[in-house]
A and B are shown apart, each in its own frame.
Chain A
Amino acid sequence: MNMAGVEAPSLRAYVANAPAARFIWDRAAAARFTDLDRGTSLGGRLADLAGRSVLVATASQLTTALALIELDGRARRLVILPPDVEADHLGAVMAAAEIDAVVTDGGARQHAAFELPVRVSCAPSIAPRDETPPAAVRTEWVLLTSGTTGVPKMVVHDLAGLTAAIINRSAAGGAAIWGTFYDIRRYGGLQIFLRAILGGASLVLSSAGEPVADHLARLAQHGVTHLSGTPSHWRRALMIPAIRTIAPRYVRLSGEIADQAILDALRAVFPQPAIGHAYASTEAGVAFAVDDGLAGFPTAFAETIRGGVEMKIVDGSLRIRSPGTASRYVGNGQTLADADGFVDTGDIVERRGDRYYFAGRKGGIINIGGLKVHPEEIEAVINRHPQVRMSLVRPKRSPITGSIVVADVVLKSQGEGVSSGQTAVKDDILKLCRAALPRHKVPAAISFVPSLPVAATGKLARRLG
């Protein structure tokens, strides 16, 4: 099945000749996507998009899914726009990716930059189609990273790479119902979408602004068998009574460090199902899945080539080379891999016994429920306060979001001890942060300290989170 070259199967090949109807559901609609074999969600305008670099700027995940199935193997390039990309960055993204067509869905998502001559609307339903499909091409898939600051990086994959880790490709697997707390427009969610399509399954997606309890109720109603999310997603779901109404056969975590506490908490609620945590990144691809219910991963994983995936650890940081590794970035001229083709994930691992454990991010990037934060950006805001000499923003472990940020602050004048003046300064700093930063970057707590450790390099000594 895994043929190289132009003849590699497109997503539509996995939809064709399906033995049974399969669906993608969101809160508002049910799309029988197996009808895309002989139907269209794009108003029959596939020919207008063929060979183009297409921005998929749909508001809903459901229309995104349908557009991807229809366009793979026809568009030259598919750039999938995640829901949270800042409007300021749209122009740069579209220019670098040479976008010459846009797919929208008439939903809440509107922007002047989408007003291109070739603009096609995607419906959450499938109409019969009589057009002959345009000539097949090998489509470039471009995913945006959840950037910390600046223009998001655009990472180039192809379908063979994106699906390299998916072993189960049985079209007869019809009984499986995948569900995900992720958004399929990010790498982690896209993996689940592809697993459902290739594995002969149906898929339950969330809708924008849908309460988790409602989403869980729908997952139960559709009889979800495979469910995936980040540890933060799962911690949130575990606090909702409706979690006990679902009975998945497989529970999957990825996107953040899965600690023993969340694995045990899931085991307590789901005694029977397989519980696995996977490791992947947008650039490196899916590296491995751990199924023994324990945090970290066996050192043996790093010592042998498994499923074509090779690992090495350089300066504590995990590097990966695999068939799922992205080929390059669009536009920014940066190299994605080292000279040997290994991607530096920036995730620091520590060996204890016969296991590696994740110890935080190289360069101190903090992961708050899947959103990445540079501490320097927050320190810069705090340091604007006239009474602040220096500050150190650091992660604090959170059972809810994995991490949150807290700040240690050195004031210019101190020695008066704790005073009501300090409380006022603290409020002032928080006010400054709230005005300048999104909510997840505002420190949950500020402590005044007499000094901060500075390393030999002259930089603040940052501890690994």
Chain B
Amino acid sequence: MSVKLTILKQMEQVAQEHGRILAPLNDELVLANCGLDSLGFAVLVARLEDTLGVDPFTAAEDGFFPVTLGEFVKVYEHGRR
């Protein structure tokens, strides 16, 4: 499964568990508007660390925080190399 697909599937899973409705997912979507709250997002990042083996937030040295879903996916694609 591609990194992107893994992320999208996990977002749907977390949204369902937390009783939230996701916005239509596309690269331009601003993460803050995706439908997950802070806690949902924290759970998502923890699960992605388990499945993809990276926590790009903690690894980032320049304090970069992705704003859009496209940037978020890219962080994982790069972190994996």
Contacts and interface: CB of A to CB of B under 8 A. Distances in A.
Contact of A400 (B18, B33, B38): B38
Interface SS of B by simple majority: helix
Interface string A229-265: 0001001101111000000000000000000011011
Contacts of B30: 240-241
A17 interface: no
A36 interface: no
Given A212-B32, A261-B58, A444-B47, A239 B42 contact: no
Contacts of B64: 265, 268
A398 interface: yes
A239 B39 contact: no
Given A235-B65, A238-B65, A398-B46, 17 more contacts: A232-B38, A236-B38, A239-B32, A239-B66, A262-B63, A264-B61, A264-B63, A265-B63, A369-B38, A398-B45, A400-B42, A401-B38, A401-B42, A404-B39, A406-B46, A440-B39, A445-B50
A397 B58 contact: yes
Interface string A415-450: 000000000000000100010000110101100000
Contacts of A439: 18, 39
B12 interface: no
Interface of A: 211-213, 232, 235-236, 238-241, 261-262, 264-268, 368-369, 396-401, 404, 406, 430, 434, 439-440, 442, 444-445
B33 A213 contact: yes
Interface in B1-56: 17-18, 30-33, 38-39, 41-43, 45-47, 50, 55
Contact of B47 (A261, A397, A445): A445
Nearest to B67: A241
11 contacts: A212-B32, A235-B65, A241-B30, A265-B65, A268-B62, A268-B63, A369-B42, A398-B46, A399-B45, A401-B38, A406-B46
B45 A240 contact: no
B17 to A, nearest CB: 7
B74 to A, nearest CB: 15
A404 B46 contact: yes
Contacts, number: 77
Interface residues of B, number: 26
A261 B30 CA distance: 22
Contacts of B61: 264
A449 to B, nearest CB: 14
B5 to A, nearest CB: 20
A212 B30 CA distance: 13
The listed residue with most A CB atoms (<10 A of its CB), out of B18, B30, B39, B57, is: B39
Given A400-B45, A404-B46, A445-B46, A239 B62 contact: no
A399 B58 contact: yes
Contact of A239 (B17, B43, B58, B67): B67
Nearest to B62: A268
Given A235-B65, A265-B65, A434-B17, A400 B32 contact: no
Contacts of B57: 261, 399-400
A397 B41 CA distance: 13
10 smallest beta-carbon distances between A and B, as pairs: A265-B63, A399-B57, A400-B42, A264-B63, A444-B43, A401-B42, A398-B42, A444-B46, A240-B32, A238-B65
Contacts of A444: 42-43, 46-47
A267 B63 contact: yes
A213 B67 CA distance: 12
A240 B33 CA distance: 9
A399 B58 CA distance: 6
A392 B30 CA distance: 36
Contacts of A400: 38, 41-42, 45, 57
A375 to B, nearest CB: 16
